[in-house]
Amino acid sequence: MNILQKTARRIIKKSFDISVSLIEFFSKMEPYKTKVSELRKLKNGTLGKEIANCLDMHNLTLVPKFESHDLKHVLLDYKMTPEDEIRMQAFMIGNGNYSVPSFAILVFGAILLPDLWLTFYSDFKKGRKTICISKWTIEKHANRNLNELRKELLKSEFEQKRIFDMKSITKFGAFTAIIAGVFGMLFCLPFLFSSNIADLIGAGFPFVGGAILAVGGLLALSNLSSFNKDQEVTKVIVS
């Protein structure tokens, strides 16, 4: 591993450490420490017990609002290293977890770790072949045997061959548009302060285009969210 690769990994680790520290600083941590204490009491081999062991090994505790993050680390056997943090997000996007944090972390990691692009793609494909786990919670699965859960993860051959439905394609396209738009705007931004009229014109149109892409992606996500809520309301009324 060369000096650039080592530096990139240090940057990623430092970024995650700072993020976790900020969340803990502004949160009441006692309930989460109590939850870890309860997990320690579970039987050996259960998901909850293994989560507690993993946290203790790294001198960590559950992070508020991100408890399922540690569940996925243990369930999917991704280590708590810079590489595996990014790999897990590639897996989760393949698994259908199209969230802003997942895309942001993956893009951040892909920029800093180009040597692992093929690995990230492999993890993405692995996520495609696994049943959706984005909604799994510690409360619901802590008492389950870890090895049994891992055996249940693989989709049937029929499900693996299933093509993305239109909602999934729309979500993916929306997040891609947002990311492309934001990066385009950031790239053009320095040129907008130039005194050269050619630079202003040359950067102005792409900047506006990036803004349109980003706004379009946000509108698409908003429409999807409204559509899903309408479906849930309809189901409740029917039932």
With respect to residue 86, please indicate whether it lies within any of the assigned structural domains. Answer: yes
Please report the DSSP string for 162-203 in residue order.
PPPPHHHHHHHHHHHHHHHHHHHHHHHGGGGG-S-HHHHHHH
With respect to residue 136, please indicate whether it lies within any of the assigned structural domains. Answer: yes
28 and 146 share one domain:
yes
- Rounded Cα distance, 95 and 114, in Å: 22
Alpha carbon separation from 22 to 26, 89, 160 (Å, rounded): 6, 21, 39
8 and 35 share one domain:
yes
112 and 53 share one domain:
yes
Q: What is the pLDDT of residues 109-145, one digit of tens each?
A: 888 888 899 999 999 999 988 999 988 999 999 999 9
With respect to residue 202, please indicate whether it lies within any of the assigned structural domains. Answer: yes
Residue 145 β-bridge partners? 46
Answer whether 178's CB lies under 8 Å from 218's CB. Answer: yes
Last residue of a domain, one of 102, 134, 156: 156
With pLDDT > 90 as the criterion, what percentage of the chain qualifies? 38
- Phi/psi of residue 108, each to 5°? -55, -45
Supply 52's token pair: 């507690």
**Residue 225: per-residue pLDDT:** 64
**Residue 1: per-residue pLDDT:** 67
Last residue of a domain, one of 156, 189, 208: 156
Q: What is the pLDDT of residues 36-47, one digit of tens each?
A: 999 999 999 999
Answer whether 82's CB lies under 8 Å from 13's CB. Answer: yes
The parent domain of residue 15 ranges over: 3-156
**Residue 203: per-residue pLDDT:** 72
With respect to residue 50, please indicate whether it lies within any of the assigned structural domains. Answer: yes
48 and 151 share one domain:
yes
Instruction: Please say whether the dihedral angle defined by the alpha carbons of residues 114, 118, 123 and 125, taken in this order, is positive or negative.
Output: positive
Domain count, the chain: 2
> pTM for the complete prediction?
0.66
List of residues 6+ apart from 204 with CB closer than 8 A: 188, 192
137 and 217 share one domain:
no
With respect to residue 49, please indicate whether it lies within any of the assigned structural domains. Answer: yes
With respect to residue 161, please indicate whether it lies within any of the assigned structural domains. Answer: no
152 and 172 share one domain:
no
With respect to residue 28, please indicate whether it lies within any of the assigned structural domains. Answer: yes
136 and 205 share one domain:
no
**Residue 226: per-residue pLDDT:** 64
Q: What is the pLDDT of residues 72-106, one digit of tens each?
A: 999 999 999 989 999 999 999 999 888 888 888 88
